[in-house]
Amino acid sequence: MAVAAPVQVQGQSRTQRWVQNRPQWLRDTQVFRRRTITFLQRAFTYIVLVDIAFVFLVPIFYILATSLKTAQDLTDPTIVWFPSGFFWVNYPLAYLAMNYPRSLANSLWISLGAAIGQTISCAFVGYGFARIRFPGRDALFALVLFTFLVPPQTIIVPLFILYKNLGWINSYNPFIVPSFFGHGLKGALFVVVFRQFFKTQPWELEEAARIDGASAFGTWWRIMLPLSTAAIVVVFLFSVVWHWNDFFEPFIYLNRMEHFTLPMRLSVLSPSLDQVTGGQAGDLFNEALVMAAVFLVILPPLAIYMFTQRFFVESIDRTGLVE
């Protein structure tokens, strides 16, 4: 029994003294009780954790299981989860129907371009808000928060007109150019994240750099930015993921199928399958095919997540998102 030996300390109450010198049998049962309670608590925690994980995993299992079903499997009431065999042919069909390489390239172009833009610009702007005192700073920062609240639909009409006049419709500029100004999809949020991050950093390095004659830009670029990999990774990943999954704006600004991103392709799956197979979509198009396409769409982010989940999960603590 790894129980601390009873120690007599002066000035304790009678109860405390009794507790410390209680008989061994009582000590044993108490240890047993405590251990049982800890065990039960832990078991309960695991059960609840598994339950919640189930909620998040079940759609993925569903997508995978359904994508491997044949047309008969889909209507067979005895087959709920597991298909009668691995019916892979849905995957090449979905691949062709979605024009996968092209759509993947489109998605990557938008997500990576916008994510690079947002990471650089938001780090730059966030530093200004966090570390430099200037008149009107707080009012400007209030504006940053304000932009987060404006629903994109409120300004979509003028933006559409603006981009149309610039000739940006059916190009990726509406996604990438604003991101280099710290705007775009949830840009305000990223500015806030960087501001919070820079606020938690120590002043000493920066002051040393300034005394040695570095400019403000030099301090940011050479001293602060290399220190902020945690924030950079988080912002970059979130920006990629959110742009990848974005839906509203791509559908406004892109209306030719060859420009569609991967998720957008899902909504035109049936007509494009028709095109690819020469009018045979009626026989081939079913739930299983849709789920195969869905799986192909979630595959790239899933793969990225497999390698980067550590950053999602852990580096939040290090970004000082919450002061």
Partner 1 sequence: MKMRVRRNEPSKPMAGGAAGAGGAGGAGDSNNMPPVSRRRMSLSFQRTLEGYFFVSPWALGFLIFMAWPLFQSFFLSFHELQATSLSDLKFRGIDNYKEAFFIDARFLPRLKDTLQQNLLDIPVIMIFSLFSAILANQKIRGVTAFRAVFFLPLVIGSAQVIQQLFDQGVGGAVLSRGVNIQELAFQYLGPDAASGVEGILNRLLFVLWKTGVQMLIFLAGLNSVSPVLYEAARVDGATDWDRFWKVTLPLLSPVILVNLVYTIVDSFTDTFNQVLQYIQQTAFAGGFRLGYAAALGWVYFAIVFIILAVVVRVTNRYVFYAGDRSS
Q: Closest distance between partner 1 and the C-beta of residue 99, in Å? A: 16
CB of 284: closest distance to partner 1 in angstroms? 17
| Beta carbon of residue 291, minimum distance to partner 1 (angstroms, whole number) | 8
In 3D, which of 72, 123, 107 has the Cα closest to residue 233?
123
Q: Does position 39 bind partner 1 by CB under 8 A?
A: no
Task: Indicate which single residue of 100, 127, 168, 175 sits in contact with partner 1 (rule: CB under 8 A).
Answer: 127
CA 129, CA 133: separation in Å to the nearest integer?
A: 8
For tokens 């602060």, the residue is: 224
> Residue 74 or 279: which CB sits closer to partner 1?
74
Q: How many residues does the chain have?
A: 323
Q: How crowded is residue 153: how many other Cβ atoms within 10 Å of its Cβ?
A: 9
Give CA–CA dist 188/184, Å, rounded: 8
**219 backbone φψ class: left, alpha, beta (φ>0; ψ -120 to 50):** alpha
User: Residues 58, 41: contact at Cβ < 8 Å?
Assistant: no
CA–CA dist 127, 218 (Å, integer)? 12
Choice from 132, 208, 279, 280 touching partner 1 (CB under 8 A): 132
CB nearer to partner 1: pick between 181 and 279: 181
What's the Rg (C-alpha) of the chain? 28
Options 12, 72, 75, 154; binder of partner 1; rule CB under 8 A: 154
Tokens at residue 25, please? 């049998």
Restricted to residues 244-263, the positions that interact with partner 1 (CB under 8 A) are: 244-248, 252, 263
Nearest to 103 by CA among 244, 279, 248: 244
For the window 94-123, what string marks contact with partner 1 as x by the rule CB under 8 A? Answer: ---------------------------x--
173: buried, middle or exposed (CB in 10 Å: 19+, 13-18, 0-12)? middle
Binding of residue 62 to partner 1 (CB under 8 A): yes
Site string for partner 1, 280-299 (x = CB under 8 A): -------x--xx--x--xx-
Shortest Cβ distance from residue 161 to partner 1 (Å)? 5
Decide: 260 and 175 in contact? Cβ < 8 Å. Answer: no
Q: Which of 104, 110, 114, 144 binds partner 1 (CB under 8 A)?
A: 144
Closer of 279 and 314 to partner 1 (Cβ): 314
Does residue 40 touch partner 1 according to CB under 8 A? no
Closest approach, Cβ 64 to partner 1, in A, equals 12
Quick one: 275 or 300, whose CB is closer to partner 1? Answer: 300
* Ranges of H-type helices in 68-154: 71-75, 90-97, 100-131, 137-149
Centre a 10 Å sphere on the Cβ of residue 234 and count the other Cβ atoms it contains.
24
- Near partner 1 in 210-229, by CB under 8 A: 213, 216-217, 220
> Considering the rule CB under 8 A, would residue 91 count as an interface residue with partner 1?
no
**Of 21-29, 45-53, 98-106, 225-233, which segment contacts partner 1 by CB under 8 A?**
45-53
Closer residue to partner 1 in complex, CB, 83/301? 301
Q: Residue type for 80, please?
A: V
